[in-house]
Amino acid sequence: MRVPVLYMLGFAIVVTLTSAMAAQSPTSNLITVSGTVTTAAGATIDNAQGIVKLARCDCSQCATPECKCCPTQLIVDIQQGGKFIFTVPHGTYTFEVVSGGLSAQVQLDLTQGPQRKLDVTLH
């Protein structure tokens, strides 16, 4: 069975346009950060909260850093075993965790990639 050249050309155009649209999807600008919060002695921190604060937005759909696509602050629940996960647009952030008199503050350059692993030690 022979496939007409025009059908093949049309299929190639559809695949190319679909790939280009997926690359410009708003989710392509997101990065997911996951990790564990522990004490300096290695104990995990359960049921705490962390705060992600925006320092600089790199959202590709924005004309200015003050746009609404990047959250200025995000509360992150630290689950049992010290596990956490959050997703934000690409940018530069500060992640702060405070629990029982211990704290940590980490500067995050989240300008590239879809995922990042981050372990935080409280002092």
CATH number of the CATH domain containing 118: 2.60.40.10
Domains: count for the chain: 1
Residue 12 in domain: no
CA distances in angstroms from 67 to 8, 23, 77, 90, 93, listed in the order given: 42, 21, 25, 13, 15
For 52, the domain range is 29-122
Residue 15 in domain: no
Q: pTM of the prediction?
A: 0.73
What whole-number distance in Å separates Cα of residue 6 and Cα of residue 16? 15
Residue 59 in domain: yes
Q: What is the pLDDT of residues 29-51, one digit of tens each?
A: 899 999 999 999 999 998 899 99
Tokens at 59, concatenated: 């959202």
Mean pLDDT computed over 65-89 = 87
What whole-number distance in Å separates Cα of residue 106 and Cα of residue 120? 8
